[in-house]
Chains A and B, each alone.
Chain A
Amino acid sequence: QKEVEQDPGPLSVPEGAIVSLNCTYSNSAFQYFMWYRQYSRKGPELLMYTYSSGNKEDGRFTAQVDKSSKYISLFIRDSQPSDSATYLCAMDQFYFGTGTSLTVIP
């Protein structure tokens, strides 16, 4: 079993939709949870960073961590075509999901 599981997609949504991206993990010791956005042929850029359980909001993005279920989510409200990218979850800095490819259709 991989330490971090992420559905690779691809996920395709119309512009303006709410997007939900998720990861599960197996190591209950993880404390730090990150979401990165990676455009095609570019390096990942950090979107959200959360310590322990709870929610964190930044503009149209909300990160949610449920440590009891070992489940994290990223919600994107009012999705835009510029949000089309691969989204990677990461835990404790070094443990990455495989990424979910998202396309927002105008």
Chain B
Amino acid sequence: SQTIHQWPATLVQPVGSPLSLECTVEGTSNPNLYWYRQAAGRGLQLLFYSVGIGQISSEVPQNLSASRPQDRQFILSSKKLLLSDSGFYLCAWSSGGIPPAETQYFGPGTRLLVL
């Protein structure tokens, strides 16, 4: 069966520090991968998605970036965190079909607090 891992589970970082969040998927190959941010009262916001190694699409311009160095690994990064980057970051995968018909499966999330 497929599983999705995210770490760390919780992170407290000072403003201006760098960020690296990692997501890995097991039990499937060539998945579509997604990064979302969930802020209180604002629902899920799609940040990035990837249909293959090295292929990243950005949905929201901001100081975050994403990379996909391996088929089942997705990394969310920032060079300098802002207070507004605080939130719950969720990684998700789908089986590699064509949106919008895809079912997504979410990881456990990383709670980020920027102080």
Contact B104 A93 (CB under 8 A): yes
Distance between B90 CB and nearest chain A CB, rounded to angstroms: 5
Contact A96 B99 (CB under 8 A): no
The segment out of A44-52, A58-66, A77-85 that lies at the interface is: A44-52
9 interchain pairs, CB-CB under 8 A: A34-B103, A43-B109, A44-B44, A44-B106, A88-B44, A93-B104, A94-B46, A96-B43, A96-B44
Contact B105 A46 (CB under 8 A): yes
Range of interface residues on chain B? Answer: 20 to 34
Confirm or deny: A98 has a beta carbon within 8 angstroms of a beta carbon on chain B: yes
In this complex, how many residues of chain A approach chain B with their Cβ under 8 Å: the count is 24
Q: Chain B residue with minimal CB distance to A99? A: B43
Compute how far the CA of A103 lies from the CA of B107 in the bound complex, rounded to whole angstroms: 23
Distance between B84 CB and nearest chain A CB, rounded to angstroms: 18
Contact B90 A49 (CB under 8 A): no
B interface, CB within 8 angstroms of A: 41-44, 46, 59, 90, 92, 94, 99-109, 111
Contact B106 A45 (CB under 8 A): yes
Contact B99 A94 (CB under 8 A): yes
Q: Please give 16 more A-B residue pairs, beta carbons under 8 A apart, in addition to A4-B43, A94-B100.
A: A41-B109, A43-B92, A43-B109, A44-B90, A44-B106, A45-B106, A46-B104, A51-B101, A88-B44, A90-B44, A93-B100, A93-B101, A94-B46, A94-B59, A96-B44, A99-B43
Find chain B residues with CB under 8 A from A99 CB: 43
